[in-house]
Structure 1
Amino acid sequence: MADPVLSPRPALLDIGESQPGAGVTICELRGLSLATMQTRKGQHALLRDRIKQHFLLELPTGPSIARAGEIAFAGIGPNYWLAMSEGADPVFGMSLKQIVAPLASVSDQSGGYAIFRVGGHAVNDVLAKGFQIDLHPRMFEIGAAATTIIAHIGATIWRCEDKADGSACFEIALFRSLAKSFSSWFLSSAAEFGCEWQTEKAP
């Protein structure tokens, strides 16, 4: 019997009211299909070739993110990636598993992770209250990623293209069960700057 295909639901249904000022913004990216992928022993070079052939991108060799169209791979550990599809494909994990077999192990994570996009002119000041890494653009360039701890919550963060107004923009992936704890921390940390909660789908 084939595995049932479930419709994705947002991690946060009630995110509260926006605060005045809007020094920072936050939204949960919805409509993403997610999977983790880990190279099997001795298959890294072949896996890189396979990913390049099918998705037309270079698989990150370290803590960074690579995008091509609606597909992205973020390095979250040694020979370990979070794969993302913006097409809300309910069988993305199964399709990826077929593409990379037998070179890597794939696990569907569409219901296991939540991804938030944060930005605004004060976003670095907010993130500095919890992230113990240097997110200054000289040290953390566009496309850079890091797996770390924020307020006792395990998370992976990567830097996106700057917003139209020149302010920084980041995306943060964490376990879905911790989404409420993260949002509470972020709202509290952003209170002095004002925080605008946004509702949008993945681009």
Structure 2
Amino acid sequence: MAEPYGESPLAARAEALADASVPATLTLSEVAFTTQVTLRVDPKSPAAERIGTALGVMLPNQAGQVARTERLLVAWLGPDEWLLVAPEGETEQLESTLTDALGDEHGAVVDVSAHRTILQVSGPKAPELLAKGCALDLHRRAFGPDSCAQTLLARTGVLLVGRDAEPPSYWVFVRASFARYLADWLCDAAAEYREP
């Protein structure tokens, strides 16, 4: 019997991303095969409180907020929608935790792990690079760590998450079908940071 095999959307671009990176200035890489689950629930319901208790972090209740634990990131997507991101292999456990906490209340828990991949953009020039294709103000006072926004980057719909302040670090969630295009765009936009 053949062994199951999976390849990340950017496996073919790993070398190009590494080559486009500039030590101490800019790093481009893929964060592949994460667990990603969307949650829909009324934020004022008892279920939302039970879910927060079960996860060890309350669901963010303001637009653009991110909550984190050591192994989990919860990004606000809408008034009653969140994206939960955990390490690879934790999908069943996360879905079970959410479903149990949701109980009989109205809501939805959906595995979307195969929908998107993550491009990590970090380093002192990361905000400048992203600003070339994104209209958001990425200054750390406006969009710092634990911030998120659904926006366009190089005409591609993405979820942008601020990870760290120093050096600046971002996760760019992009649909698998657009991942190679966006990786190529980032590599091209990063060319000016490489020494001639």
TM-score by length of 1: 0.81
User: Identical aligned pairs, as a percentage?
Assistant: 23
Name the Cα RMSD after superposition.
Answer: 2.2
Structure 2 residue matching 1:192: 3-state secondary structure: helix
Query: Match for residue 13 of structure 1?
Result: 11
State the one-letter code of the partner of 2:44.
H
User: Residue 7 of structure 1: CA displacement?
Assistant: 7.0
Deviation, 1:90, is 4.2
1:91 aligns with 2:92: yes
CA distance in 2, matches of 1:114, 1:35: 13
The answer on 1:30 being equivalent to 2:32 is: yes
Instruction: Tell me which of the two structures has the higher relative contact order, counting C-alpha pairs closer than 8 angstroms and 6 or more residues apart.
Output: 1
Q: Aligned equivalents of 1:126 and 1:110: distance in 2?
A: 27
Deviations 1:154-201 (A, max 9, x none): 111111123xxx320111112111111110111111111139xxxxxx
- SS state of the match for residue 183, structure 1? helix
CA distance in 1, matches of 2:115, 2:95: 15
Distance 1:98 1:7, change over 3 A: farther
19 and 150 in structure 1: CA distance in 2 versus 1, 3 angstrom threshold: closer
Stretches of structure 2 that go unaligned for 5 or more consecutive residues are none
**CA separation of 1:191/1:144 partners in 2, compared to 1, >3 Å: closer, same or farther?**
same
- Say yes or no: does 1:106 pair with 2:109: yes
**Residue number in structure 1 paired with 2:135:** 132
Q: CA deviation at 1:70?
A: 1.1
In structure 2, the residue matched to 1:75 is 76
Q: What is the CA–CA distance in structure 1 between the aligned matches of 2:58 and 2:106, rounded to whole Å?
A: 16
SS at match of 2:11: coil
The structure carrying a bigger helix percent of its residues is 2
CA deviation after TM superposition for structure 1 residue 8, in Å: 5.6
**Post-superposition shift, 1:145?**
0.9
Q: Distance in 1 between the 2:182 and 2:194 partners?
A: 17
Preserved CA contact (<8 Å) 2:37 2:95:
no
Match of 1:188 in 2: 188
C-alpha displacement of 1:99: 3.3
CA distance in 1 between counterparts of 2:167 and 2:85 reads 24
In 2, Cα distance between the equivalents of 1:97 and 1:7?
29
Q: How many corresponding residue pairs?
A: 185
